[in-house]
């Protein structure tokens, strides 16, 4: 059974600092990995989708890397802003379901 872990569970940084969020998974036979953002009480917003054949994906200030063999993905957010404060979830697709991590809650202090 796939286990997805996100460390740290919470992170607080001053504005302008770069963010590094980690996601690890136990079974490397995945098809893709998706990073989501969730604001309190709201739905999930897809940030980046990395296919298993890809090493990284970029969108604006966001960059996500994937190392399938070691079961790891990292989400980098450059030059953080208070508006980046949210919970970030990673999810892997290795079967007919998504397996989610518990999320990292980020607070960016102005």
CA atoms of 107 and 62, how far apart (whole Å): 16
Beta strands 98-100 and 72-77 are: unpaired
CA atoms of 71 and 102, how far apart (whole Å): 16
Question: Toward another protein, which CB reaches closer, 17 or 51?
Answer: 51
For residues 80 and 13, the answer to whether their CB atoms sit within 8 Å is: yes
What is the nearest approach in angstroms of another protein to the Cβ of residue 40? 9
Six-digit token pair at 16? 């302008």
Question: Toward another protein, which CB reaches closer, 25 or 36?
Answer: 36
Question: Toward another protein, which CB reaches closer, 17 or 27?
Answer: 27
What is the nearest approach in angstroms of another protein to the Cβ of residue 81? 22
Binding residues for another protein, rule: CB under 8 A, are: 30-32, 34, 36, 41-46, 49, 51-52, 89, 91, 93-98, 100-103
């Amino acid at each position: 059974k796939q286990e997805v872990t996100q460390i740290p569970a919470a992170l607080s940084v001053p504005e302008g600092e770069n963010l590094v969020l980690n996601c690890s998974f136990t079974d490397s036979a995945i098809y893709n990995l998706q990073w989501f953002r969730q604001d309190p009480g709201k739905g999930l917003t897809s940030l980046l989708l990395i296919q298993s054949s890809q090493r990284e994906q970029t969108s604006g200030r966001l960059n996500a890397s994937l190392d399938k063999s070691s079961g790891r993905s990292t989400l980098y957010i450059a030059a953080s802003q208070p508006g980046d404060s949210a919970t970030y979830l990673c999810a892997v697709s290795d079967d007919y379901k998504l397996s989610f991590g518990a999320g990292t809650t980020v607070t960016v202090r102005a």
